[in-house]
Structure 1
Amino acid sequence: MNTEHPHPAAPVLPAMLAEEIPPGVQEVILPNGERALAYSTGPTNPPPAPAAPATPVAQPIPAWAKSTALLAPTVGGGIAIAAVGLSAAAPGLVAVSHVLWSAVAAIAAGGTVAAVVIGRVRARLTAAQRPHITQHVTATGLFGRANGTINHR
């Protein structure tokens, strides 16, 4: 017969020091005498707050706050100067836009005129080079033989 216990005994762990136990966990003794760690379900006592100093201690200003404070007037001033520049340049910008539209219209009209002139010159050049062909055909009687001449000039 096997007299061994069906389940081996749990290994014996060394006891933890009170400083090693995390907050919210406490050591309990089970009914069979074993010690175990358990989460506390009741309210835990918070650690005492450190005593507030009598006088407030000056905190250093973070670097991001310093750079933001230095950049804010610079960016605002740049926007203001840009607005003044645009308002001063507005009449000139309107005049430039009129000049640009006039230039576009002149280019379009010039292109149309150039196309018409080139078409007419091309027609005259090809007409001068094309041969003029004339043909004279004569025939006598209803069933007579036809005679003709072709002239290339």
Structure 2
Amino acid sequence: MHETAYEITTLTPQQPTTHTAMLPTEIPPGVQMVTLPGGIRTLAYTPQQAPPMPPVPVAQPIPAWAKTTALLTPTIGGGVAAAGIGISYAAPGLIAMSQALWAAVALIAAAAIGVPMLLRLGRSAADTEAGRGTTHITQTITATGMFGRSNGTINHH
């Protein structure tokens, strides 16, 4: 059996090439055009670069106002809840007190209007029983000089 021997030749830059150059869009992913140390440009597989590592976040201290707010939040919430429970228990008493206050206001208003009217009616009834009409009182005051002594008289008619 006889094997055929093949001669291996390398392409030098001076030799003309018969193939056409690839367009950049035809180059498959992971393959790049590289220049070898002898100046020859060829396609080669290149190792894929790992994506850059994201920056490591630096721990920031928590501001004092945030700590204070976080500590006060349950206290304030508990106080509001306790106030709500207290108001719910006190609601019937508050309703009764408000009605009593309105009744007191109505009584005061009625007294402010009614008492003077009753006094007038009582006085006019007493005057008519005594046979008198209305009483007129006049007062006369005289004085001499700026710092003089004053004299006065009161007349009932």
**Same fold by TM (over 0.5)?**
no
TM-score by length of 1: 0.43
Q: Which structure's CA Rg is the greater one?
A: 2
TM-score by length of 2: 0.42
